[in-house]
């Protein structure tokens, strides 16, 4: 084989091997996979740490509130945002079952959060202390109301499908999770956390909470942007010279 043929063959092998690999590395789907895995791990680890600490406490007011809040308004709400567009669950579960799992997680999270809020409210009323007057309480209440609105709009979507309602449903769920994560962040500055953990452990929990929030929100935001791009008319992409098939895959 001549030197020119060897060079041509080498180029062919290089492009066949390297180009798909580079495309896979820089593809958005790869970042979605990394974000989802990181979000699942952080949500579970933070929840396990909190549950282990609160389940054995004699302080029924703060302990029960923290237990139900972390299970319902952090873990269940976060997982409900993730499972809808999961890259690996879709291979094992049908789309209808994924939507059902999303609904169940949302309803369970709302119920557990309601129990946790009532437990703290009853305790506050007994000792005549004001409730929802801190950053933790206000963010938690607003986040809970947004998740309640997301669940209600989700039930409405079961009856009839409308694009505006679907966007509102997803934005309410996303904003609700952000506010609930902020509430969790502010809770780590309160007396309950300072009594149970050292300052170093609190700092690690705050960093983990921030990382979990960024992972879940970034994942949902990427999925939302992808769905919006899919809904845009093809003429828009032709006008700016983009390949339609690549964008809609």
Tokens of 93: 């579960």
**Average pLDDT score over the chain:** 81
Residue positions counted in the chain: 249
Nearest-CA neighbor of 121 among 137, 109, 135, 108? 137
pTM of the model as a whole = 0.81
Give residue-wise pLDDT tens across range 122-168. 888 877 777 778 899 999 999 999 999 999 999 999 888 888 888 89
More confident residue, 102 or 129: 102
Contacts by 7-13, CB closer than 8 A, 24 or more apart = none
Burial, 167: exposed, middle or buried (Cβ in 10 Å; 0-12, 13-18, 19+)?
middle
Token duo for residue 73 = 């308004």
33-224: CATH topology is 1.20.120
**Residue 17 DSSP symbol:** H
Whether 229 and 242 have beta carbons less than 8 Å apart is answered as no
Answer whether residue 80 shows pLDDT above 60: yes
Query: Which SS3 state, helix, strand or coil, does residue 208 take?
Result: helix
Q: Give percent of the chain above pLDDT 90.
A: 42
Is it the case that residue 66 has pLDDT exceeding 90? no
Q: Which of the four pLDDT bands, split at 50, 70 and 90, describes residue 111?
A: very high
Instruction: Single out the residue of 165, 51, 56, 173 nearest to residue 107, CA to CA.
Output: 173
Answer whether 61's CB lies under 8 Å from 105's CB. no
């Amino acid at each position: 084989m001549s030197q020119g043929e060897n060079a041509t063959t080498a180029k062919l092998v290089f492009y066949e091997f390297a180009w798909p690999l580079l495309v896979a590395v820089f593809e958005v789907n790869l970042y979605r996979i990394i974000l989802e895995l990181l979000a699942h791990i952080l949500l579970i680890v933070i929840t396990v740490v909190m549950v282990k600490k609160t389940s054995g406490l004699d302080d029924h007011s703060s302990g029960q509130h923290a237990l139900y809040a972390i299970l319902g308004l952090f873990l269940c709400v976060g997982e409900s945002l993730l499972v809808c567009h999961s890259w690996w669950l879709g291979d094992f579960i049908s789309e209808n079952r994924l939507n059902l799992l999303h609904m169940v997680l949302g309803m369970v999270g709302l119920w557990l959060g309601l129990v946790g809020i009532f437990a703290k409210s009853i305790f506050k009323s007994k000792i005549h202390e004001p409730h929802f007057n801190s950053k933790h309480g206000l963010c938690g209440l607003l986040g809970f109301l947004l998740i309640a609105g997301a669940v209600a709009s989700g039930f409405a979507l079961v009856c009839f499908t409308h694009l505006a309602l679907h966007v509102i449903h997803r934005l309410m769920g996303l904003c609700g999770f952000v506010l609930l994560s902020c509430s969790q962040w502010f809770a780590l500055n309160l007396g309950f956390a300072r009594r149970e953990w050292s300052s170093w452990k609190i700092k690690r929990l705050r960093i983990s909470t921030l990382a979990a929030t960024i992972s879940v929100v970034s994942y949902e935001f990427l999925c939302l942007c992808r769905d919006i791009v899919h809904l845009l008319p093809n003429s828009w992409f032709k006008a700016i010279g983009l390949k339609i098939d690549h964008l809609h895959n």
